[in-house]
Structure 1
Amino acid sequence: MRNQKKKKAPTLHSFNEDPFIPLNRLHILLCATAIAAVLHRHLFSILSSPTPISSSLLLLSDLLLSFMWAVTQSFRWRPIRRREHPETLALAVPDPLLPNLDVFICTADPSKEPPICVASAALSALAFDYPSDKLSVFISDDGCSDLTLFAFMEAARFARHWLPFSKEMRILERCPETFFNSTDDPRSDEIKLLYQRMKKKIESVMEKGQVSDDLFISEEDRATFKKWKNFTRSNHPAVVQVLLQSSRDMDIMGNPLPNLVYVSREKSSTSFHHFKAGALNALLRVSGVMSNAPVILTLDCDMHCNDPNAPRRAMCYFLDPELSPKLAYVQFPQRFPGVNKNDIYGGEIKRLYQINPRGMDGLKGPNYVGTGCFHSRRSFYGPPSSPPSLLNDLNEQTSDTPLSSEAILRKAHEVASCEYEDGTKWGSTIGMRYGSMSEDYHTGYRLHCEGWESVFCDPERPAFFCKIPITLNDVLSQNKRWCLGVLEVFFSRHSPMIFGVRKVSFLMGLCYSYDGFWTSWCIPILIYGLLPQLALTNQIPLFPKVSDPWFYLYAYLFLSAYCQDLIDFLASKGTFNRWWSDQRMWLIRGITSYLFGAAQFALKQIGIPAPGFNVTSKIMPDEVSKRYEDGIFEFGIVSPFFISLGTVAIVNLISFIIGMVNAVRKERGFDEMFVQLFLSAFVVVNSWPIYEAMFLRKDGGRIPRRVTGISILLAGILYSISYFLYTDSRI
């Protein structure tokens, strides 16, 4: 017995460090040395510069670029790649021993988030390859719309057919809309007809804007909808409706169905509701009363499952006895099958959703990005050392008590009320964290500060697919909202630059600082996008000549930064054309969403409130969708974003033309002005879609003439100011 080998625990997951880590660290050392040299030159050349204001602005720009470069390197310090082994899980943990799973899906506005799409997302989750009696799906409708409730009543009926069909056919795409659009299998004709009937019924109700009595199948449903007559979006009691109950409802094959629960938390115009974070906390409490699953999956309403094995992949980490005591969540990347060929808006956002999380995974784990994330319920109730008994403060569910029992529904309505959180720690140390419009970033960061860890799960087959905005204004508006949210955290008492580096680790603090200080990009991008170009027009050199050895140091820093970004992008299965779109969108965001986000945050700090949370519309006209598929930028409206873009684009175009003419005329003109000519040319090449939309296009997505006129006027004002500023320095 003494010599008997100890039985080895089954391997549920594994990981490998990036083989390029030593090269990354060497590159960090070389770049840091070059940056220090450039900053040293800047600092001591300001006093002797004929243009001290320009030199000072360039120094400020380079300091911010250096700071952002430094915090970016924390993602490259120890990136890892993980792999799960669900086949081992099946042998180690039989289905009856798998933990229960609650799925949260939030929606807020049926006019912007079509209920049929939200219902499809829920159906794909109901069809997970997971024991039905251990699965519950909770829908949060923050719009309290009877149209949304009706859509889910129809979806519940369709689930009786869809779940056994999808499991029997072993299909992987278990979102009905996606599946029927991608197959012509005659075996699916009958179920496809049922789906089309359901879809037509829901769309008919949406067109009418109301649910008529003749659509109800039962008196119970009719009685339910009578309660909605006096409801408004901002004033209504809590609504909790059990649409499917595992202990009661069966599919057409006689198998139990998962639980499906519709929730609309109480709203009052006199109470603040904390946007999506408040809705998720209400679901945390309601689900705690009704099912209390130890694992929770959060999904956006425009997201659907692409791999029914996703929960089992997550369980490979949650069921690891060494990892689970401190594991707060398992984050899957967001993937977007609807992006056009070259992803013109950089919608994949690979750095946020794939590259950076892999780097953080080698430290304490990736940040939470709001969707496609499996959480430990226990992590929402305090640090890993907190007593597990706190989890049971709401739970009244027992194995013999049905979800629809009067006692459980009464308690569920109570915890979904406006007053329930008053005087509690909800939103501060319990549940999703309040105080930021980016509740995901704030919550994940605070969980890491409490001692929790996380895991990045990026399987070969994407687990979840999302929809993306397909107009430039929607893309930039969404990004500006994110900027506001992360700034609210960065400048709070829990700032990752101060609090985070102490509570988590130095490198993790830098990782969160990178996201938290996104908006700082606007300063160097604006300076490098305008100042050298205005100086070029006035023939004022700001950079070393090509014949000066310092030129090669600048060239090295520029090329190394872009080449490393390109390598990271290609290593994440990107393409060169999509990388070009991604770096162009970084420049566009710098002078639009980053700039306006920073300005709006500053105004908010002095008492001028920011607009409320705006839901991005998921409905687009056919002509807009067609232009997006063809890779054509969509402008079409008068927006401050487009005025900013147009102004910078026109300044660079004029500067490049004038600069080229002067360089040809002047002896050694290219040697002296090469860097400024290159910067102008670089912006001009990136701005081609803007010039096209201003002067060449005739369709509805072009830049309005009013925006073009204002941009030309502002460009003229900038040139006039630069003429007087450079009067004394002009050659």
Structure 2
Amino acid sequence: MKSRIELAIESGKIPESVRKQHKGFAEWNFNIKKQDHQSIVLILIDGRDTSAVDNVGSRLPTLVYMSREKRPKWPHNFKAGAINALLRVSSEITNAPLILSVDCDMYSNNADTIRETLCFFMDEKKGDEFAFVQFPQKYNNLTKNDIYTNNASQIDEVELPGVGGYGAALYCGTGCFHRRESLCGGKYSKGDRVQWNTESEKNAYQTVDDLEESSKVLASCSYEKGTQWGKEMGLIYGCPVEDIVTGLAIQCRGWKSVYYNPKRYAFIGVAPTTLEVALVQHKRWCEGLSQIFLSKYCPFIYGHGKIKLGAQMGYSIYLLWAPISLPTLFYAIVPSLCLLNGVSLFPEVSSPWFLPFAYVFVAKNIFSVLEAMKHGSTLKSWWNGQRMWLIRRTTSYFIALIDIIKRKLGLSETTFVLTDKVVTEDVSKRYEQEVMEFGSSNIMFTILATLALLNLFTLLGGIKKLVLDLDSKALEQLISQIVLCGIIVLINLPIYQALFIRRDKGCIPSSVMFKSILLASVTCLMPIY
């Protein structure tokens, strides 16, 4: 199939033999372009047809291909617009009460998932309250020690279940079962009982051709004009993380949601295999989440009196990712520069005020290690997590914060960046060997390398001063900063390797190396001169 698609693209036409096999190709003429074409709806399998069976005689479900209309002058609203069009078309063809949304790089891993989900929606006491059931995102291509910390066990096992405990599980955009009524703008009314029809008679007497023609209108560009689609109905427009804001809006209409994490993963997808893709993905999420906090959908304003305070705070853990970059950058820069210049920031080791600092540092890390081990992580994967924690906060979150400020000042507009997870063979090989992939001149790598070199220079310079001065008092005053700076240097070992040792295509480019050395050197010299 891949070769046939490539041949069609190269030749600019569909071979006649293939065109005759599939009536859908009749819709695709030579005037059609990717971003300029009419709506196409094709019922490939009609579930009402008793002759539509698989090779063991079981009835096949209705299968529909849809490509919504796109025109250059009409905003298509990306994923949110696609799902809203699908909602309308599916309501015309089957109008099933439950909807499953899954990303294109994910697949079902548990045949009992639907049955287990129905246990929530059909519960006699609370089932009518639930708008959606969210499953965690899991991946099939993680390395043994999860080099990029794609398997967010802390989030999946602790944070999201905690928010779900308030009946406000976050809608994460994939692996989620929705009640159609709630997703299409309906409000929850206590006491309403849902009638489940196992055999829907909707459109039982319409022909396939009639259904296709009536559905095409629902997938047209102009259909949403003057309606509440994208505002009160369907997924909400104007935010890069339309899933989170939509889930919040649904909960503020009175519905509750469930976070369900079964032992056998329900859905499995593909995680980023390069550092750049992983950081770009987090930058996009961070921008979108911050945009929600600064909009009318801020949980403390929009959710006031509608969802519990604990749920509002739970949302804010993620909506405030961007400003967290500032204190992290402070700890990565200021203590090291002060160490180089002999300025003490923490209490002396002999002072009783040193104990609270030491306790927090030791207790936090011991608890973090135990928590990681409890959820099946290795010690090395925990260490990789500490590295990615620092990397994300000083690059993705920081650049997202700058972009948010620029947008608020009217200097830029919201953009939607797709994450490309297709990789070459050598990139895939390095990923399997758990070698970090750089190989790009992305500004985030310049920041990473500069911070790594800054801490290396200041650690060496600070230790050199202490050794030459032989001042035990100064050592007692600066030991906390030496430890902090030393930990940052250890965390950044893969970056030093990519700067000075590695020669493969995944190393840090020389242009980035020279810029980083210059920036780190100037930063070290600034306090002196």
Give the TM-score range, shorter chain. over 0.9
Structure 1 position 242 matched with structure 2 position 43: yes
Structure 1 residues 695-723: Cα deviation after superposition (integer angstroms, max 9, x where no partner) = 00010000000001001111122122222
1:603 aligns with 2:413: no
Of 642, 661, 673 in structure 1, the residue corresponding to residue 445 of structure 2 is 642
Q: 1:610 to 1:340 in 2, by over 3 A?
A: farther
Q: Quick one: distance in 1 between partners of 2:205 and 2:459? A: 74
Q: For the residues of structure 1 that align with 2:383 and 2:420, how far apart are their CA atoms?
A: 27
Give the equivalent residue in structure 1 for 2:431: 628
Distance in 2, matches of 1:228 and 1:612, equals 30
Contact 2:45 2:64 in 1 (8 A): yes
SS in 2 for 1:503: coil
Q: Does 1:202 align with 2:202?
A: no
Question: For the Cα contact (< 8 Å) 2:46–2:61, is it kept in 1?
Answer: yes
For residue 343 of structure 1, give the secondary structure of its aligned residue in structure 2. Answer: coil
Q: 2: CA distance between counterparts of 1:630 and 1:493? A: 46
Amino acid at match of 1:247: R
CA contact (8 A) 1:277 1:432 kept: yes
User: Out of 482, 492, 496, which is 1:677 matched to?
Assistant: 482
371, 374, 382: which is aligned to 1:579?
A: 382
Alignment correspondent of 2:214: 411
Among residues 361, 384, 401, which one is paired with 2:188 in the alignment? 384
In structure 2, C-alpha distance between the alignment counterparts of 1:558 and 1:311, rounded to whole Å:
44
Structure 2 match to 1:212: 14
Please give the alpha-carbon distance, in whole angstroms, between the structure 1 residues aligned to 2:406 and 2:362. 37
User: Is 1:279 paired with 2:82?
Assistant: yes
Cα distance between partner residues in 2 of 1:378 and 1:696: 58
- Partner-residue secondary structure (3-state), 1:634: coil
Give matches, 1:100-139, under 5 Å.
none
In the TM superposition, what whole-angstrom CA distance separates every residue of 1:33-85 from its partner, at most 9, and x where no partner exists?
xxxxxxxxxxxxxxxxxxxxxxxxxxxxxxxxxxxxxxxxxxxxxxxxxxxxx
Deviation at 1:222, TM superposition (A): 5.3
Q: Which amino acid aligns with 2:86?
A: L
Distance 2:460 2:117 in 1: 56
Deviates more, 1:569-578 or 1:523-532: 569-578
SS at match of 1:552: helix
Cα pair 2:128 2:192 within 8 Å, conserved: no
Is 1:229–2:30 an aligned residue pair? yes
Provide the rounded CA distance (Å) in 2 between the counterparts of 1:224 and 1:680.
62
Q: How does 1:551-566 map to 2 (within 5 A)?
A: 551-566=354-369
**Where does 1:46-61 land on structure 2 (aligned, <5 Å)?**
none
Give how far 1:215 is off.
Answer: 4.3
Which position in structure 2 is the counterpart of 1:398? 202
Aligned length: 518
Please give the root-mean-square deviation of Cα atoms over the aligned residues, in Å.
2.2
Q: Separation in 2 of the partners of 1:543 and 1:303?
A: 48
C-alpha contact 1:213 1:222 (8 A) present in aligned 2: no
Alpha-carbon contact 2:93-2:203 (below 8 Å) kept:
no
Counterpart of 1:704 (choices 509, 515, 519) is 509
Q: SS state of the match for residue 472, structure 2?
A: coil
Q: CA deviation at 1:435?
A: 2.6
Q: Deviations over 1:210-249 (max 9, x none)?
A: 5632542x73625634533211122111111111222232
Q: Distance in 1 between matches of 2:312 and 2:337?
A: 38
d(CA) in 1 for partners of 2:45, 2:116: 26
In 2, Cα distance between the equivalents of 1:245 and 1:333? 32
After TM superposition, list the pairs within 5 Å mapping 1:293-332 onto structure 2. 293-332=96-135
Q: Distance in 2 between matches of 1:608 and 1:318?
A: 46
8 A Cα contact 1:289 1:412, kept in partner: yes
- SS of alignment partner, residue 300 of structure 1: coil
CA contact (8 A) 1:247 1:256 kept: no
Which one-letter code corresponds to 2:506 in the other structure?
A: G
Contact persistence 1:501–1:510 (CA under 8 A): no
Question: Does the alignment pair 1:722 with 2:514?
Answer: no
- Structure-2 change in CA distance of 1:575 and 1:635 (3 Å): same
Q: Identify if the C-alpha distance between structure 1 residues 280 and 354 changes in structure 2 by more than 3 Å, giving closer, same or farther.
A: farther
Quote how far apart the aligned CAs of 1:487 are: 1.0
Does residue 490 in structure 1 map to residue 287 in structure 2?
no
The equivalent of 2:463 in structure 1 is 660
Write the letter of the residue equivalent to 1:235. D
* Structure 1 range deviating more: 646-655 or 422-431: 422-431
Correspondence 1:252 to 2:55: yes
Once residues 284 and 357 of structure 2 are traced to their aligned partners in structure 1, the CA distance between those partners, rounded to angstroms, is: 34
User: 1:617-664: CA deviations, max 9, x gaps?
Assistant: 131100000000000000001110000000100000011111222233
* Distance (whole Å) between structure 1 residues aligned to residue 275 and residue 217 of structure 2: 42
The runs of at least 4 consecutive aligned structure 1 residues that moved more than 4 Å come to: 386-391
Calculate the TM-score normalised by the size of structure 2.
Answer: 0.93
Quick check: 1:526–1:591 contact (8 Å CA) kept in 2? yes
Q: CA deviation at 1:276?
A: 0.6
Deviation at 1:389, TM superposition (A): 12
| SS of match in other structure, 2:132 | strand
Pick closer, same or farther for the CA change 1:282–1:390 going to 2, 3 Å. Answer: farther
Given that 2:8 and 2:15 are in contact with CA atoms closer than 8 Å, whether structure 1 keeps it comes out as: no
Q: Please report the TM-score for the alignment, with normalisation by the length of structure 1.
A: 0.68
Q: Conserved in 2, the CA contact under 8 Å of 1:600 and 1:610?
A: no
Instruction: Give matches, 1:450-461, under 5 Å.
Output: 450-461=253-264
How far apart, CA to CA, are the structure 2 residues paired with 1:229 and 1:376? 40
- The equivalent of 1:52 in structure 2 is none
Identify which of 388, 404, 429 aligns with 2:232. 429
Structure 2: distance between partners of 1:613 and 1:458: 29
- In structure 2, do the counterparts of structure 1 residues 629 and 403 end up closer, same or farther at CA, with 3 Å as the change threshold? farther
Please give the per-residue CA displacement for 1:369-418, whole angstroms capped at 9, x wherever unaligned.
11111111111222212998999xxxx97262357241x22221111111
1:138 corresponds in structure 2 to none
Relative distance call for 1:564 and 1:423 in structure 2 (3 A) is farther
Please, which of 370, 381, 406 is the counterpart of residue 567 of structure 1?
370
Q: Percent identity?
A: 35
The one-letter code matched in structure 1 to 2:288 is: G
Mark the runs of 5 or more structure 1 residues left unpaired by the alignment. 1-200, 725-731
Q: Is the 8 A contact 1:525 1:591 kept in 2?
A: yes
Amino acid at match of 2:109: N
What's the offset of the Cα at 1:480?
0.4
Residue aligning to 2:493: 688
Structure 2 CA distance for aligned equivalents of residues 230 and 561 of structure 1: 62
1:334-353 aligned within 5 A = 334-353=137-156
Please state how far the C-alpha of 1:283 moved relative to its aligned partner: 0.7
Q: In the superposition, relative to structure 1, how do residues 206 and 618 fare at CA in structure 2: closer, same or farther (>3 Å)?
A: farther
Match of 2:391 in 1: 588
Amino acid at match of 2:3: E
- CA drift at 1:537: 0.5
Aligned-partner Cα distance in 1 for 2:120–2:193: 23
